[in-house]
A and B are shown apart, each in its own frame.
Chain A
């Protein structure tokens, strides 16, 4: 689908499936799953280098930053200060101003702290970051994030790692209608149909990690997700038929005996 590229803040992306790099068995599996997914955006976390065990390999030895857009996140940050600090460190360690901003509100649900998110986004945007915020499915918060300068918004389908699929399709539809920047559904996808549905609703992309990494066969699931995203996107562009209560015959009546 070369003619249907996703553009965010002047950057063009080939695939509408974005993937995380956590929870895999090892880097080889990570690499294979990402290749099978066809994704060109991969998220990474920012953490202390292990200085006592230097035998540990580096993720970037497997995920070539020249081939993929590395999208650092601020996962694990529960305060505005921490999220801003991690974003700044990510920029210093990486090559771009992109950050997937997470300010987590609660350990059990991992729901975003949207007040903190807006505050952190404001600070980082002022510093020249391209902020892609992980938010809940609240259309008002999504709009506020766009108003302060986020070039895309990443509402959750369901809690991170829950695999519940899109829990609030109507909120998502309102966001898609009212927010005029790319919408990347982030978190909560369980299987291929969830991803396809998000795309059929009109989402611009889907970001997932656990649904692939946690599958029995992550590499096969990565491939399944690639097809789901493409199928959902094509169906959205093609325009589905309206739902009707009664049947409409597909074969003509004319010419019947």
Chain B
């Protein structure tokens, strides 16, 4: 993780504070986290992103991002 500076920004990813490179895209964040984009959904500030937006969408200081996927579950997992 980067230290805080001029070319970095802070955001919340899955409930955790994170410092990333300024101008990072959603796709860039997923790559940094080693997450395959085809198996997840991304919610940015409570709005769900289309998968084809991942490349274009730049993140901003203070964004709240949720990255979810499927896990084992039956009823009331």
Contacts and interface: CB of A to CB of B under 8 A. Distances in A.
A48 B66 contact: yes
A73 B14 contact: no
A interface, by DSSP: helix, strand, loop or mixed? mixed
B7 interface: no
A48 B68 contact: yes
Given A22-B77, A73-B77, A46 B68 contact: yes
B4 to A, nearest CB: 19
A93 B16 CA distance: 21
By size class, the interface of chain B is 20 to 34
Interface residues of A, number: 46
Given A88-B48, A89-B41, A47 B76 contact: no
A241 B49 CA distance: 57
Interface string B48-77: 111100000000000000111111111111
Interface in A86-108: 88-94, 102, 104
A168 B16 CA distance: 45
Contacts of A22: 72-75, 77
A60 B40 CA distance: 11
A92 B38 CA distance: 10
B75 A209 contact: yes
Interface in B8-52: 13-16, 33-36, 39-43, 48-51
